[in-house]
Structure 1
Amino acid sequence: MSKYGVMVMGPAGVGKSTFCASLITHLQLNRRSAFYVNLDPAAEHFEHPPDLDIKDLISLEDVMDELKLGPNGGLLYCFEFLMENLDFLSEALEFLTEEYLVIFDMPGQIELYTHVPVVPTLIKFLTQAGALDMRLCAAYLLDATFVIDRAKYFAGSLSAMSAMIMLEIPHLNILSKMDLLKDQMRKKDFKRFLVPDTTLLEDDPADRSRRKVKVDVHSADPTDKDAIMSGATFKQLNAAVANLIESFSMVSYLKLDSTDEDSVQAILSYIDDCIQFHEAQEPKELADEEYDEDE
Structure 2
Amino acid sequence: MSKFGTVVMGPAGAGKTTFCSALIQHLRHNRRSCYYVNLDPAAEDFVFEPDVDIKELISLDDVMDEMGLGPNGGLIYCFEFLLENLDFLTDSLETVTEEYLIVIDMPGQIELYTHVPVLPALVKHLSRGSLNINLCAAYLLEATFIVDRPKFFAGTLSAMSAMLMLELPHVNVLSKMDLVKGTVAKRDLKRFLDADAGLLDEDNTHRSLAFEPAGDGDMVVPVEAGDPSAPRQAGDPFARLNRAVAKLIDDFGMVSFLQLDVQNEDSVGAILSYIDDAIQYHEAQEPREPNDDIDMDPSTYMD
Question: Does TM, normalized by the shorter one, top 0.5?
Answer: yes
Corresponding position: 1:277 with 2:281? yes
1:280, CA displacement in angstroms?
5.3
Identity of aligned residues (%): 64
Q: Which residue is equivalent to 1:167?
A: 166
Q: Which residue is equivalent to 1:237?
A: 241
Name stretches of at least 5 consecutive residues in structure 2 with no aligned partner.
209-223, 286-303
| Shift in alpha-carbon separation, 1:27–1:216, aligned structure 2, 3 A | farther
1:170, CA displacement in angstroms?
0.3
Q: Which residue is equivalent to 2:56?
A: 56
| Shift in alpha-carbon separation, 1:277–1:148, aligned structure 2, 3 A | same
Corresponding position: 1:38 with 2:53? no
C-alpha separation between the residues in 2 aligned to 1:254 and 1:154?
A: 16
Q: Which residue is equivalent to 1:85?
A: 85
8 Å Cα contact 1:8/1:140 also seen in 2: yes
1:192, CA displacement in angstroms?
1.1
Q: Which residue is equivalent to 1:211?
A: 226
C-alpha separation between the residues in 2 aligned to 1:213 and 1:11?
A: 36
C-alpha separation between the residues in 2 aligned to 1:258 and 1:210?
A: 37
| Shift in alpha-carbon separation, 1:85–1:142, aligned structure 2, 3 A | same
Q: Which residue is equivalent to 2:199?
A: 200
| Shift in alpha-carbon separation, 1:7–1:280, aligned structure 2, 3 A | closer
Return the letter of the residue paired with 2:124.
K
Residue deviations 1:114-173, cap 9 Å, x none? 11111100010011132x110001000001110110111010000000000000010111
C-alpha separation between the residues in 1 aligned to 2:84 and 2:2?
A: 24
1:185, CA displacement in angstroms?
1.8
The Cα RMSD (Å) is 1.7
C-alpha separation between the residues in 2 aligned to 1:198 and 1:91?
A: 46
Q: Secondary structure at the match of 2:141?
A: strand
| Shift in alpha-carbon separation, 1:152–1:31, aligned structure 2, 3 A | same
Q: How many residues align?
A: 269
C-alpha separation between the residues in 1 aligned to 2:88 and 2:117?
A: 20
After superposing on structure 2, the runs of 4+ consecutive aligned residues of structure 1 that deviate more than 4 Å are: 214-217
8 Å Cα contact 1:197/1:243 also seen in 2: no
C-alpha separation between the residues in 1 aligned to 2:256 and 2:30?
A: 28
Q: Secondary structure at the match of 1:164?
A: helix
> How high is the TM-score relative to the length of structure 1?
0.87
C-alpha separation between the residues in 2 aligned to 1:214 and 1:139?
A: 45
Q: Which residue is equivalent to 1:14?
A: 14
Q: Secondary structure at the match of 1:190?
A: helix
C-alpha separation between the residues in 1 aligned to 2:263 and 2:270?
A: 13
C-alpha separation between the residues in 2 aligned to 1:12 and 1:162?
A: 16
1:215, CA displacement in angstroms?
7.1
